[in-house]
Amino acid sequence: MIEINFDGIVGPSHNFAGLSLGNLAATRSAGAAAHPREAALQGVAKMRACLDLGLTQGILLPHTRPNAAWLAALGSDMAGADAVLRANAMSASPMWAANAATVSPAADCGDGMCHLTVANLQTMPHRSHEWQGTLAQLRLALGDARHFAVHSPVPSPFGDEGAANHMRLCSRHDAPGIEVFVYGEGGGGEAGGGESGGPFPARQHREASAAVARLHRLDPARTILAAQSAEAIAAGAFHNDVVAVANGHVLFAHEQAFADPDALYARLRAALPGVEIIIVPAGAVSLADAISSYLFNGQLVSLGDEGMALILPSEARDNPRVWAWLQGLVAGNGPIRRLVPVELRQSMANGGGPACLRLRVVADPATVDPRFLVDAAKLDWIAAVIAAHWPEVITPEDLVRPALWDQVRGARLALLAALDLGELA
């Protein structure tokens, strides 16, 4: 059993429509020209960097866009939809695979299976129609029912945003772990601030987190539900993975990530005596710097005997306060030994860093459909399909053009054909 990172390939409709209230980068980018080809190639380069570190890499495919079935269920189509509905139907948001599902490795689950619950993403309209496509793909990629149980989303009104609000701490990936579910409000699906009390919606509801823990048959003694701090949500941490990340026995978090950090850390220390908790003080890196640089949205990965590496967006290197703090971190004798900056500016401009683009699954790769695993050669073909078919630029005005809708549909089909995944069409 090892950790496999499944990255969402950036879809050919990647654009900046400003659809996610509370996601400051996406709101700032609204109306700008987007570069889908460059975005997707940046994602491929990030996967190459992971392969170069010796990691096992998987992929998830773009969903069908425009989503005509969703528009039809709303009594509309691309020609008739208003600008907002049209942008919702064109969103390439399935690229952020950390929101695809919550994953509990077999070692944590009562029945010894790896459980996944697809996220309903109900808080944002453009993301609320992802789950059907995600469920179909996960049931194919992880279709071996001897090893995987893939659950449908928890029902509305309980908002669930998947692994972006879930952390797992363990002595080794294949040993029983402590699962931490971080939520932003108590449930009920209120629009707006809800219990966070701030200007932005808290997208993960406690009831959804608790339901996922039950569905996955987790041991309550090894399961922690922790509230996100209202100040983090108000500062733009629309998911916990913008202010905290865990891997193995290490939790790396901003001082202001959690509502009651001392209670969380005490429970973690009791449940996993070897845990190392690395807190970045607000005095060194403010919440604003953490959110603009996305340092916590790194992929914290184990490199065997060489300790851990943090795969970070290059924005973290560009922020002098953040970079100085990180330099001090790796110079010390702690578990994080290497910093690996990657260039993801297109995804970052929509609020998606390295960790947003990947879904972690602890599994034996031999039990995964090999069409969803990649090596360097397969990444070369994927890059060739992207270079040949992905639009170079999409502006907000382009979203009305039928020729763009056709290009986007065709580009995805070309990729599915190249990967022998025509059944997802």
Task: Enumerate the active-site residues.
Answer: 161, 239, 356
Q: Is the dihedral of CA 299, 312, 278, 228 positive or negative?
A: negative
- 334 near ligand SUG, judged by CB under 6 A: no
Closest approach, Cβ 17 to ligand SUG, in A, equals 4
Both tokens of 165, joined, read 């609000």
Q: Collapse the DSSP code of 294 into the 3-class scheme (helix H, G, I; strand E, B; otherwise coil) and give the result.
A: coil
- 65 near ligand SUG, judged by CB under 6 A: no
Closest approach, Cβ 269 to ligand SUG, in A, equals 27
- Whether residue 66 is preceded by a cis peptide bond, meaning omega within 30 degrees of 0, is yes
Segment lying near ligand SUG (by CB under 6 A), choices 4-12, 72-80, 167-175, 237-245:
237-245
Strand intervals (E) in 146-187: 148-151, 166-169, 178-183
- 93 near ligand SUG, judged by CB under 6 A: yes
Closest approach, Cβ 104 to ligand SUG, in A, equals 18
- 120 near ligand SUG, judged by CB under 6 A: no
- 293 near ligand SUG, judged by CB under 6 A: no
Name the one residue in this structure whose structure tokens are 């701030």.
Answer: 198
Q: Which amino acid is at 287?
A: L
Segment lying near ligand SUG (by CB under 6 A), choices 92-100, 103-111, 140-148, 282-290:
92-100
Work out which of 20, 64, 346, 407 binds ligand SUG, going by CB under 6 A.
20
235, with CB counted inside 10 A (0-12, 13-18, 19+), is buried
- 17 near ligand SUG, judged by CB under 6 A: yes
- The residues pairing with 310 across neighbouring beta strands, listed in sequence order, are 300, 339
- 50 near ligand SUG, judged by CB under 6 A: no
- Determine contact, residues 217/109, Cβ cutoff 8 Å: yes
- 98 near ligand SUG, judged by CB under 6 A: yes
Q: Quick one: 137 or 346, whose CB is closer to ligand SUG?
A: 346
Tell me, residue by residue from 157 to 196, as one string, x for binding to ligand SUG by CB under 6 A and - for no binding.
-------x--------------------------------
Q: What is the distance of C-alpha 252 from the center of its chain?
A: 17
DSSP states of 358-382 as a string?
EEEEEE-GGGS-GGGEE-HHHHHHH
End-to-end CA distance of the chain: 31
Q: Which residues bind ligand SUG (CB under 6 A)?
A: 17-20, 23, 26, 91, 93, 96, 98-99, 127, 164, 238-239, 241-242, 350-352, 356
